[in-house]
Structure formats: C-alpha cells, structure tokens
Chain A
Amino acid sequence: MKSETIQATDNSEAADVVPLTADENKAIYKELRWQGLWKNNPGIVQLLGLCPLLAVTNTVTNALGLAIATLFVLVASNTLISLIRHHVQKAIRIPIFVMIIASLVTCVQLLMNAYTYELYLSLGIFIPLIVTNCIIIGRAEAFASKNSVKHAAYDGLMMGLGFGGVLLLLGAIREVLAQGTLLDGIETMLGEWSSVLTITLYHTDTSFLLAALPPGAFIIMGIIIASKNAIDYHLENRAKKKLVSQAEQSIENKG
C-alpha cells in the first residue's frame, strides 16, 4: 500500500511537469465526473461516511443541509491540500490534513450556527462529525495530495455531488414513505419564503415508522445499492451483446 502511494506520487509529479493537451485534460475531467458521480460513488460504492448518510437522511431538508456542508468541506479541503502538496513532507502529511479538515469543518459549523440556526440544531452532532467522514481524508490522501489544484477541486466537487445525490435520494424516499411529504422544514434552511416548496403527497396519522428509523435507512440503502448494481449489470450485458453482434457481423462480412 505504502510503496504504491509513493510510486503514484512520483508519477504525478512527473505528470505535472509535462503540460497536458486540451483533449487529455478533457478526458481527465470526464473520468473524474464518472468516478465521483457513478462508478466510484462515495455513498453507494465506496460506502464511506455511512454514519451521517444513514443518520440524517430522515428528511430531504436534513439531507440537503449535510450534503451542502460536506460538499463545501470536500472542495475546500481538496483544494488546500493540493496547494500545499509540494511543501509537506510525507512523514507529517496526515496530521496536517487532519488539521486542515478539522479547521474547515469548525468554520462551516460556526457559519451554519450563525446563518442557518434551526438547521444547525436539527443536524446537531453530524456537522462536527464531518471531520470523521472517511470520504474527506480519503480524497485528500488518495487524490488531492497527488494531483493539480484544478483536478483536486473538481474531484472534490464530483465526490461531494455523488455523496450529496445519494443523501438526497435516500432522504426523499424515507421522507415520502414515513411522512408523505417532501422538503418538510425547508424554511429552516432557506428562510420563511421557502415554506411553499414543501410538498405534501398524502396525509397520515400513523406514519410508516420503519422508513424514519435507522433500520429503514439500511434497508432502503441496500435497495439503492442493489439497483445501482442491476443497472451496471444491464449496461455491461448490453455492451457485451453489442460487441458480440459486431464481431459476428465482421465475420459475416469477411465470409
């Protein structure tokens, strides 16, 4: 693992020197997008940060709040860590990453406390817990510390969006199942005007409790992961079939 890391670092430093062509650059961004949003999605593939993922997704509003906070921390930490990557000795990189991430999260926490007070109260302990979210230190160590600032920031953005997307999906499913609403309590985040955004799909006195509680979160999460795998399987099969039919056609043509 360690030797692999060092090797990767050496490679990228070499790559920094050689200027990339526009096409290569485009390909890198495309790959980062694909990795963050789908193929290597932090929420449903890497399964990082499950604690906040499962705990705060009982409503879309909570999910959105945590998604934005995590996204901001990810982009900022990736950018900062990429900026300092040449100045930090390998031996002390982890404590420095941790300091940067912890300071960023504390700043976000203070800002949310000041400007989105009620949302801050409802997210509670999960804002400071962003520090312990493995995605952030994971991307810092695996990507930002070895790549250029632009790519690192873009990677943070895509990973953050991928994670946030899963949060929102899970939050939406759970909120609809448990309360029959969407975006309930959004005014705690965006101000009074936004209470019109709350959609009530159906009224219920005896809510579907399972969806609101942690076991429901696990079950729905499992279903989402299974669906993702099913889609991947389907796509792969289609690609294979296409390949086979192309091959058959070329054989026929030759014949």
Chain B
Amino acid sequence: MILSAISRNGFLLAAFAIICTAAVATVNQLTKPVIAQQEQMALIKTINQLIPEDAYDNEIFASCFEISDDQLLGKGQTQQVFVAKKGNKPVALMLETSTFKGYAGEIKLAIGIFEDGKVAGVRVIRHTETPGLGDKIQTNKSEWIYSFNDKDYQVAQDARWEVKKNGGDIDAFTGATITPRAVTHAVKDALIYFAKHKQQLFNQVANCGDL
C-alpha cells in the first residue's frame, strides 16, 4: 500500500521532471542561435565604436583569440582579442581587460588600440560601480571615457597616466576618484601589454571565432 503510493509519486515526479526539462531544452534549442547572434551583434557594435568600420576589411569576428596576463589584464581572467586588418596589414586591435581596483567588483573594458600604439577608444563592457557616481564611465552618462582617445603610452611619461589628483593628465569626474583611477590604470596596463606583445598579437592564430 505504502510502496505503491511511493512508486506512484515517484513516477509522477519523474514524469514532471521529464516534461519540464523537455520544455526548457526546446526553448533553449530555439533561442540558442538568436542569443549567439545577439551576443555577436553586441560585440560587433562595440568593435565598430572603437575601430572605424572602413579602416579594416577582414572578418573581424573570426579573428578572435584569447590571452591572459595576471598583472596587466586582470588577475585570473581570460580576455579576448580581435584584430582588424586591411589587405592583410594589421591596422588595429580590440582587446578586453578587467580591473578589480574599482569601487565594487569587476570593471570590464574593451580597448581599441591602433597599430602605432595610440588608443582608438575605450568602452565599458560591464561594471557594478555606484549608480550616479561611478557609472559616469558609461558613454550614456558622461563623455569622460572619450578622454583616452588618441593617447599613447611612453615609458618616459609614465606619470601622465594618472588622474589629475595624483598628478597625471586624466580628469577625474565629480564625486568619484576610485573608479576613474581604476579605469585609467587598466587602460595604461593594457597599453603596456600591447607594447610588450605587439608582434605576437598581430600574428596570433584565431581560436575562438566560432563563438
């Protein structure tokens, strides 16, 4: 009597588990290509904001490969790089970097760097800084992040890559110092990484383009 009740309930639970899993799996199958496309479009949108579209002619999305550097690109993080080439000559690249020196958690950035080492542009991919203060690193809140455009890094002028408060060139914005300082340092470190590994970066074989 009890046994039959147990087995009946067991079968019922199993049946519901199968139906529910099947439903989720179906929706997953249906939405998978759309989600992948959305992610690709979001990424291409970021790349196009950083590197002018007419400056390159390769399939930039297929040029992706992964790098990591605990010191310069965020500890324990794997970052993606996309290389822009025109007629097989390297023009620029976009690399991701992370910093944990902000006010709250990770700030993930996409940095476009021209072949000559100049910054093409910087965008925030995601962050959890304080709304109203630290979020001025977003382009829709403030123009601040554009101040990196066309800057380059030279060892002799290391001190310029600081917020003004610390004697550098970069304006901080009202109400927050930690966030802009973290972003400034992250961009500087990425430029140092670029200078160190330039040859490798432009000749790397793509290995994550099937994203």
- Does residue A15 face the partner (Cβ distance < 8 Å to B)? no
A201 within 8 A of B: no
**CA A117 to CA B16, docked complex, whole Å:** 30
Residue in B closest to A185 when the chains form the complex, CB atoms: B140
Whether A89 contacts B12 by the Cβ 8 Å rule is yes
Q: Are B131 and A114 in contact (CB under 8 A)?
A: no
Please state if B38 and A96 are interface contacts (CB–CB under 8 Å). no
CA distance A89 to B2 in the complex (A): 13
Judge whether B38 and A92 touch: CB under 8 Å. no
Q: Residues of A contacting B174 with CB < 8 Å?
A: 205-206
Interface stretch of the complex, out of A22-30, A100-108, A157-165, A225-233: A100-108
In the complex, chain A residues 211-233 whose Cβ is within 8 Å of any chain B Cβ = 212-213
Q: How far is the CB of B141 from chain A (nearest CB, A)?
A: 9
The reply to whether A107 and B24 form a contact with Cβ atoms under 8 Å apart is: yes
A213 with B13: in contact, given A102-B20, A111-B27, A113-B31 (CB under 8 Å)? no
Interface size class of A (residues with CB under 8 A): 20 to 34
Determine if B9 and A114 form an interchain contact, defined as CB atoms under 8 angstroms apart. Answer: no
A95–B133 CB distance below 8 A: no
> Please, which residues of chain A bring their CB within 8 A of the CB of B28?
110
B34 interface residue, CB < 8 Å from A? yes
- The docked-state distance in angstroms from the alpha carbon of A212 to that of B175 is 15
Report the separation of the CA atoms of residues A73 and B48 in the bound assembly, to the nearest whole angstrom. 37
In the assembled complex, the CB of A176 is this many whole angstroms from the nearest CB of chain B, namely: 14
Separation of A91 and B5 alpha carbons in the complex (Å): 10
Residue ID in chain B nearest A92 by CB atoms: B9
Set B8, B13, B35: member contacting A113, Cβ < 8 A: B35
> A107 touching B27 by the CB < 8 A rule?
yes
| Complex alpha-carbon distance, A110 and B24, angstroms | 9
A96/B130 in contact, CB under 8 A: no
A99 B126 Cβ-Cβ under 8 A: no
In residues 99-133 of chain A, which contact B (Cβ within 8 Å)? 99-100, 102-103, 106-107, 110-111, 113-115, 117-118, 121
